[in-house]
Amino acid sequence: MLYAYRKLNLSFINKIPLKTFIKKVKIRPLMISSIIILFLTFHRCTEVLIDNSLEPKAGFCLTFDDDYIEDWYSINDMLLLNNVKATFFVSEIYNLSTDQIELLTELKTSGHEIGSHGWNHTNAVEYLNNHTLEEYYRYEIQPAIEYMEGIGLKPESFAYPFGRSSDSLDKFLFQYFNILRHVTVEQLQLSSKEVDEIYYKFNGTRYATGLGIDVNYKISQEMLKKVLIRAKTNDEVVVLFSHRPVDSSPQQYETNKTYLDSLLKLANELNLKSYRFSELLDYK
């Protein structure tokens, strides 16, 4: 404004004081409305920031394991339509074709997370019976991290193959991943009692335990509803894992897409937030 005044000062309003100039060119109302707009914008931004970063909200975390890239990609539209961000834990990534890597990258671009499920999909507990941690790292962890980093998919999270983990291994892997996924062994008793460990409680714990929902785990829609309602009631996040989404007749370690669709719809009805696995640590 001062610049404009000085510019004009050189020409036709040589002797007009600044105050009079402001009044004459009606800058004051313009300035006031600009300040109001700026304030409202800032206020809105702050609200959005608070909503996204500080307040944990009841939700669910949907994860998939192994290397069913095309099948994972085939549910991308369904996930996006329901505003769901999933996490895909990929194993034996060196076996994937260029086209499959492209699909995986597209899943990441769509907002999903790509985690590691091991270079060789090794049962860590068995392997460590006759190998050192250092050997395990070089055989199962390091190549996966380096390869994934090389193709722009550096993993922040890891899911144990076969769900086999231990406290000492957790401690070791915290050096390389932000958060680890275990699986519950109480899975099959879910119908008779509540399995507490499948709910993440925003307490900063760097592992979360998943409930299998593939057809062989026999989690009925009704049980699933109970699980989601508990997460809603207690402001927790239930962690679910699956392997391969299929169109019909699911076999072992497969989940019917219609089952997945009703899960997503139910979660939406309950207003549950969908979390990428690593996001669990953002809300403490």
Which residues sit at the interface with Zn ion, rule CB under 5 A?
A: 65-66, 161
Cβ at position 63, least distance to Zn ion in Å? 11
To Zn ion, the closest distance from the beta carbon of 118 in angstroms equals: 8
Pairwise CA distance, residues 256 & 273, whole Å = 22
Give the nearer residue to Zn ion in terms of CB position, either 112 or 181: 181
> Smaller CB distance to Zn ion: residue 65 or 214?
65
* 65/236 with CB nearer Zn ion: 65
State the minimum distance, in angstroms, from the CB of residue 251 to Zn ion.
15
Residue nearest to Zn ion (CB): 65
Nearer to Zn ion, 161 or 212 (CB): 161
Please state, in angstroms and rounded to a whole number, the distance separating the CA atoms of residues 26 and 131: 80
CB 91 within 8 A of CB 114: no
9 versus 123: smaller Cβ distance to Zn ion: 123
Name the strand (E) or helix (H) holding 2. Answer: helix 2-9
Contacts of 33 (CB under 8 A, 6+ apart): none
SS3 115: strand
- Which residues, other chains included, contact 217 with Cβ-Cβ below 8 Å and sequence gap of 6+? 187, 188, 211
Least distance CB 74 / Zn ion (angstroms): 19
Residue 79 Cβ vs Zn ion, minimum distance, rounded to whole Å: 20
Compute the Cα dihedral for 200, 205, 206, 207 and give only its sign: negative
* Residue length of the chain: 284
